A and B are shown apart, each in its own frame.
Chain A
Amino acid sequence: MNTEPTGFLYPFIESEERDASSLVADLAGSARAKMADSVALRTATLESCGGLVQRAAAEMADRFGAGGRLFAFGNGGSSTDADGTVELFRCPPSGRPLPAMSLVDDRAVLTALANDIGFDVVFARQIIAYAQAGDVAIGFSTSGDSVNVIRAFEEASRRGLLTIGLCGYEGGAMADSDAIEYCLVVRSDSVHRIQEAQDALVLQLWSAVQDHVPEGSQS
């Protein structure tokens, strides 16, 4: 299904158009409407997920305080959400830098696993290799159905990691997974709006972790 149709806004497409001014005005109007949608969804999501975020952050802070590390993963645009999460925790705009690793960072490991075994295991195998019981796993999937993300959570859960999932729509398979302790669902069917709200959720989570993390326990 086309979740973000644009054609209806511009039903009379003329191949011989020459004056761009009315199109530019329409584009700006469309952008303004989408901005308002994005802000409304972000505000509603921070509200609805606020309690879960606070509880997850408190547990994360305990684990960071005890020497735990954060592993983040996702596919495509969600891989950049994982990267962005790692950037935020490791090089924060303020507060304490915290140990975080992106499981999409190392292309040698990713392509080796994908080529030799299959893409379904690219994150789970890295969890097996790197993670320990006191660590934290954060995975992103807008559909909630990414097999490699879910398999990484299953592996992480078995190993005693704290597991936090971010997904969209109705949460997909992630919402039903016992392997994910904190599942933060952005209730939208637009991949773009979901990703924008996930950014806001991660910022809220990071901010709450900073509030909780003990002084001087990590550097």
Chain B
Amino acid sequence: MIATVDAQLGGQETAPAEDLAGAALSLARRFAAGATMWCVAPEWPAHGRHVAVEFVHPVIVGKRALPAVNVEGADVVRALRLLARPGDVLLAISSAADLVSADLMSRADAWGLTSLWLGAGPRPSPGRADHVVWVEGVEPARAARTGDMVLLYHLLWELTHVVFEHPGLLRAEPACTEEVCITCSDEGRVAEVQAVHDILGAEVLVGGRTETVDVSLVDPPEPGDLVLVHAGVALSTLRGGLP
């Protein structure tokens, strides 16, 4: 009766084990640089609490406590906008259909956060988070209870601590050196509107930094809206989140 990750390993485009390995490397590097991991699980609050206590109070004596905080309640987006700092990590555990998680994942880059999305069922569209670890081909609400979801974050915790045993790799943050770097390239970036001054100028948060951009090409945005910004100009409004 349990649908398991085991059954998924052959049939999935990307296997959870490989995705977990990449996510753990990234997470360990962020922790080493001083990050806090913010955890949300709006559909299954117990998983958000569980993953946070896993990192804060490890089951293996001697493993370091790492700052992971579960956030739940009426307005998680507003709470995290206040709490999270650029360089932190945002972990969501949910189905792809969860609107709060999807909204947070859309904002992560603007806030300067590394995004990590663990879940089950139909996979989110590509690029929705920096790391997506997914159990496909199962009914999400059921998969959340088989032990698969807790297995994913148990392994995320364990692999993260293995990376800590490799200090040389903790320092090896990918550097912005080539023209393909999204920060410096021609690609647009998602920005969150903070304040609108007039038709020409709005303050937006992009990559965790405040910039002033031209908003004359889009419908008048409001604080909290997401816009796609390129070369100092907002090109489109992303109401209702990203596709």
Contacts and interface: CB of A to CB of B under 8 A. Distances in A.
A83 B60 contact: no
Interface in A23-64: 23-32, 34-36, 38-39, 42-43, 46
Contacts of B142: 93, 203
Contacts of A35: 4-6, 9, 16-17, 151, 155
Interface stretch (B73-81, B98-106, B161-169, B220-228): B161-169
Contacts of B149: 199
Nearest to B48: A80
Given A77-B53, A77-B54, A80-B49, A46 B145 contact: no
Contacts of B166: 10, 13-14, 17, 23
Interface stretch (A108-116, A146-154, A175-183, A190-198): A190-198
A202 B5 contact: no
A2 interface: yes
A15 B167 contact: yes
A46 B21 CA distance: 29
Contact of A17 (B46, B158, B169): B169
A81 interface: yes
B46 A84 contact: yes
B18 interface: yes
A216 interface: no
* Chain A interface SS verdict (over half): helix
B25 interface: yes
B46 A83 contact: yes
Contact of A3 (B60, B148, B154): B60
A192 B6 contact: no
Interface size class of B (residues with CB under 8 A): 35 or more
Interface of B is mostly: helix
A7 B165 contact: yes
Contacts of A31: 16-17, 20-21, 155, 159
Contacts of B167: 15
Nearest to B156: A31
Nearest to B5: A35
Max chain A CB contacts within 10 Å: which of B22, B50, B149? B50
Interface in A163-201: 191-192, 195-200
B172 interface: yes
A101 B47 CA distance: 17
B158 A199 contact: no
Given A30-B162, A81-B50, A84-B47, 9 more contacts: A10-B162, A10-B166, A31-B16, A39-B4, A77-B59, A196-B147, A196-B150, A198-B147, A200-B146
Interface of A: 2-4, 6-7, 9-10, 13-18, 20, 23-32, 34-36, 38-39, 42-43, 46, 76-77, 79-81, 83-84, 87-88, 93, 191-192, 195-200, 202-204, 206-207
15 contacts: A16-B168, A23-B25, A23-B163, A27-B25, A27-B162, A28-B20, A46-B1, A80-B49, A80-B53, A83-B49, A93-B145, A195-B147, A195-B150, A196-B147, A203-B145
